[in-house]
Amino acid sequence: MWNFDWPKAYPETQAQGILKLNPEDFVVDEIPLMSPVGEGEHVYLHVRKREVNTHWVARLLAEKFGVKEQDVSYAGQKDRYAVTTQWFSIYAPKSELQLEIRPFPEEDIEILVQTRHSKKLRRGDLVGNRFNINLQQITAVDGSSLELLKQAVEKNLEQIKERGVPNYFGLQRFGRGGGNMDQALAMLTGQRREKNRQKKSMYLSAARSYIFNEVIAARIQQGLWGKTLAGDVDVEKNPTDLARLATAPMWGRGRLPSQDETLLLEKTVSGPYHELSEGMEFAGLKMERREIVSNTENMQWQWQTHLENELSLTISFALASGHYATSVLQEFIAVEEPERFEQAREGSQ
């Protein structure tokens, strides 16, 4: 019953390629919200990691400093199959431990900076992330020439740079085959109880995200991308660029603050999912808003020709915290990841 084939804002380009052929093809650098002052009860580590997930790094650091895992904090989780940098904080007021540059010989983890700060890192304590992505083996689905392919992609990239992309939540939020949504519906309709707090939060998040994505999809299907509606609720008052600041609901308890056409659209979209929305209200979630446009910053790209009928593209941009690079990519290319990554994911579950 779940539809994850949400419409795109821009025309299909017929481009297809490979994402993350190598970890170095997907580089993510965290943009911190604050800089450590050099003293305090919390050890701050700026870490570079390759093919290692954030939670595993936190566990290793807890063991190294002799603290509980909950004493290790980070602002956000980063991709495993990538090269990423991010900050960790460890509550260790009495520790004098100074880590080596490579403290874990069996893991590709490097300590770039070790310092201290007076406060712990909390989830969301980041401005955003910078991405440098190399897309390889780019060809045209319909067999068209590389020149026509480049022209179509370039046209979309220019539009993305100017107008942003739909701020869809990524498919990973909904679980393999939409499994998180099935669990969310069962939980919110009382068919099953979920005692695990982490799983419960994950299912609630999936349900909220699904309705949010459906609202964006409806706006695009009705030709409203890049346009404002009477009754839009904006992130901030900026009369020069309302279309980039409009929001959609993150469902919870309380009335929809939208009005007129926007209110009608949001009620129409959410209506078929009343079991989800009513369940989220009963669960105590608070009605919130999230911007429908994800704006890129400092977006640049460069083409490389490797074979007569094959291209690669390096693209870099920054996104605000909680926004997905995949939402940018899907607006100009269809990508696949190497099979070994899918097998590795299955083995780690």
Name the residues annotated as catalytic.
Answer: 79
What is the C-alpha separation between 95 and 12, in angstroms, rounded?
55
How many C-beta neighbours within 10 Å does residue 307 have?
10
Distances (CA, A) of 117 to 35, 77, 110, 114, 179: 8, 21, 20, 10, 40
Contact 245, 234 (CB under 8 A): yes
Contact 48, 163 (CB under 8 A): no
What is the C-alpha separation between 200 and 219, in angstroms, rounded?
30
Listing DSSP states for 204-248 in one string gives HHHHHHHHHHHHHHHHHHTT-TT---TT--BSS--TT-GGGTBEE
Phi-psi sector, 175: left (phi>0), alpha (psi -120 to 50), beta: left
